Structure formats: C-alpha cells, structure tokens
Amino acid sequence: MKMNNPLFSIIVPVYNVEPYIATCIESILCQSVTDFELLLVDDGSTDDSGMVCDEFASKDSRVRVFHQDNSGVSCARNLGIEKAQGKYICFVDPDDWIEASFLDVINKQIGDCDILVIGFDFDYEDGSTMHVSIGDLEARQVCDKEECMLRLKFNATGHNIFGYIWNKVFKADIIKTNKISFLKDVKFGEDEFFTLAYCLCAHSLKIISTSVYHYRQRPGSLTSQAETLLAFKCKYLELLRWIPFMQTKALRRISHEWVYHTLQDIAKKNTPSFIYITTQRHLLIRGNILGRVCSKLFIEAITKNVLPRCLLYLFIVKEDVVSQP
C-alpha cells in the first residue's frame, strides 16, 4: 500500500547509473526515520537502471518509479516534484549515498526553517574521502537569510555550497505554491537557479555542519564534467533574468557577485569568451551591475596579462530572451 502524505519525499533522477543505483536506493531505504517516500525518475536509461528501480519498487511500497523519455535531469526532477506528496523534499543524485541518520538529523534540526543546509563528504574512486566543513557557516545559520546566501556561495571551503541541490531540504508547499521548477534549457548550474528561486520565496535558512550525505566524485558525473563555454553562456544569460528581482542591497550584492564570478570563470577558459549585454534598460541601470562587472574583469585581464587568451566579445541579447523568471 502506497504512503499518503509522508513527512519526506526523496527524489532521485536516474540515468545510466546501473553500477551505483542499488547502493543509492539501499542507503535511502535503510533510514532510521521511515516516514518517507522515494521517487525514482528513470530518464530514459539505456542500461538496466530502470529495471533495478522497478525491482526495488516491487519489494517496498515506499518506492515509486516513473519512466520517461530522455529529457534531462531538470525534467526528471520536475516530474519528481509534481508527484511528491511529502511535507519536505530532498534530492539525492543516483550515484551518491546517504547515512542511515540522514532523515533523523534533518527531522531534529529543520524546525520552522524554510530551508536546511547540511554537511557532506566527497567520496573518491580510490576510496578516499574529503569532508567539506561548513562549521564556520553554521554560527550564522538563521540571523540573516541574504548574508547566508552569500556565504554559501563564496566561502573559505572553495565550494559553491549554495549551488548544490543535494545538501538541502526544501518545503514542498513553498515549491508548489510559487511554481518553482528546474530550468529545462540550462544544462549547467540548473540546481543553483532552483535554489535561488526558492530562497527568494523563503524567509529563513539554517545551516548545520553534520555530514550525512556522500557525494561520489567520478568521471562522467554532472559536477565533474568539464564546464563548457556554452554552459557558462547559458548560465550567465539566466543570471541576467534574475537581476531585476534583487530588491534589497544584499540581494543586489549577490547578483553582482554571481555575474562577476560567472564571467570570471568564462575568462579562465582558453577559448574566446562572451559577455552578453542586454538591451533591457532596467538591467543596465539598476546599480550599473554589468558596467562595474565588465570594467573589473577588463582591469584584471590587463594587470594579469591574460587578455590575449580571454578575448571579450560583446553581443546584444534581444529583449524577449531576457524575460521574467
């Protein structure tokens, strides 16, 4: 018998991960807190990943499997959100695994917070593990949402903790009421835009350093894939869409930092880089974000003598491309 209105909905997008998916599912089903549903979305796998999912579903009523034609991880996660019945939503990547205490820690810590950020480890194929300590962020957990967003994005760990989707717990009603979804056309950083959209609707954010999630670093995983120029171009263009909705000083600072660091990443590539300039007047005027960012990048390029390998081309983006999120 299927569960109705469980406390947690755990969504796992599945695509060609046959060697890893069983370990992932088993770690979820071994939770000490049992009030959850597991939604496995098979995104048109060409190996036996979908069959493995079906086998688990036949043995445990908490597991639901959905099969779709290959449409990408964003569409898979969106389908999971649509089908989710829990109060809270968590995302787990299909080649990762979680501690048996994962949901117990979340259940004890989340309280009335709209979003909970948890600690995690990187597991490497050689058997080594690297713990990413976010303890220095924990002390600032709920005092200021916008400051927390900045510190999660830019911090001493060297990791964009804000951009990871799998180390966060979200409230389902906030997602569904505000129609928040993963962007289908953004192939890199789609999880970061989801988190951004959610945080703009949330009121409180809490950070805990307890590490209960294990991210498997392997060749071919989404995070380890080379970040292509096209991916950065798409990510930058999407950033422009969000700038008008950054109403406070802290949020405008966040948008400035995001645009700057994204363009900085582009400039580090050995291929020609692209800076998009939009014709939408309010984007150019509000805090002159693009002008300051481009000037800062240009000065850095000259002083570091890297201009020859990061030529900057200016393109005009049509207004209908930069629309409201």
Q: Are residues 54 and 191 in the same domain?
A: yes
| Domain assignment present for 67 | yes
312-317 vs 273-278, strand pairing mode: parallel
Report how far residue 246's alpha carbon sits from residue 240's, in angstroms, rounded to the nearest whole number.
11
What pLDDT is attached to residue 4?
A: 76
| Domain assignment present for 3 | no
Q: Are residues 141 and 246 in the same domain?
A: no
Count of structural domains, the chain: 2
Q: Which amino acid is at 226?
A: A
Report how far residue 322's alpha carbon sits from residue 209's, in angstroms, rounded to the nearest whole number.
37
Q: Are residues 160 and 277 in the same domain?
A: no
Q: Are residues 206 and 240 in the same domain?
A: no
Q: Are residues 158 and 103 in the same domain?
A: yes
What pLDDT is attached to residue 181?
A: 93
For residue 223, what are the contacts with CB-CB under 8 A and spacing of at least 6? 215, 217
Final residue belonging to a domain, choices 166, 183, 217: 217
Q: Are residues 279 and 154 in the same domain?
A: no
What is each CA distance from 228 to 103, 189, 194, 269, in whole angstroms? 35, 12, 20, 9
Q: Are residues 53 and 103 in the same domain?
A: yes
Q: Are residues 266 and 185 in the same domain?
A: no
For residue 221, what are the contacts with CB-CB under 8 A and spacing of at least 6? 93, 95
Final residue belonging to a domain, choices 193, 217, 241: 217
| Domain assignment present for 126 | yes
What string of pLDDT tens digits covers the 325 residues of the chain?
Answer: 456 789 999 999 999 999 999 999 999 999 999 999 999 999 999 999 999 999 999 999 999 999 999 999 999 999 999 999 999 999 999 999 999 999 999 999 999 889 999 989 999 888 888 888 775 555 444 456 776 777 777 666 667 788 899 999 999 999 999 999 998 876 666 788 888 889 888 888 888 888 999 999 876 554 444 445 455 555 555 555 555 555 566 566 666 666 666 555 555 554 444 444 333 333 333 344 445 555 554 445 444 544 433 334 333 333 333 333 4
What is each CA distance from 6 to 38, 118, 172, in whole angstroms? 10, 21, 11
| Domain assignment present for 224 | no
Final residue belonging to a domain, choices 217, 250, 273: 217
| Domain assignment present for 51 | yes
Q: Are residues 203 and 234 in the same domain?
A: no
- Of 265, 168, 154, the C-alpha closest to 215 is 168
Its domain, for residue 75, covers 8-217
Provide the CATH number for the domain around residue 144.
3.90.550.10
What pLDDT is attached to residue 318?
A: 34
What pLDDT is attached to residue 86?
A: 97
What pLDDT is attached to residue 188?
A: 65
What is each CA distance from 260 to 224, 253, 266, in whole angstroms? 22, 10, 10
Q: Are residues 35 and 164 in the same domain?
A: yes
pTM for the predicted model, two decimal places: 0.76
What pLDDT is attached to residue 306?
A: 44
| Domain assignment present for 109 | yes
Q: Are residues 168 and 97 in the same domain?
A: yes
| Domain assignment present for 91 | yes
| Domain assignment present for 79 | yes
Q: Are residues 210 and 249 in the same domain?
A: no
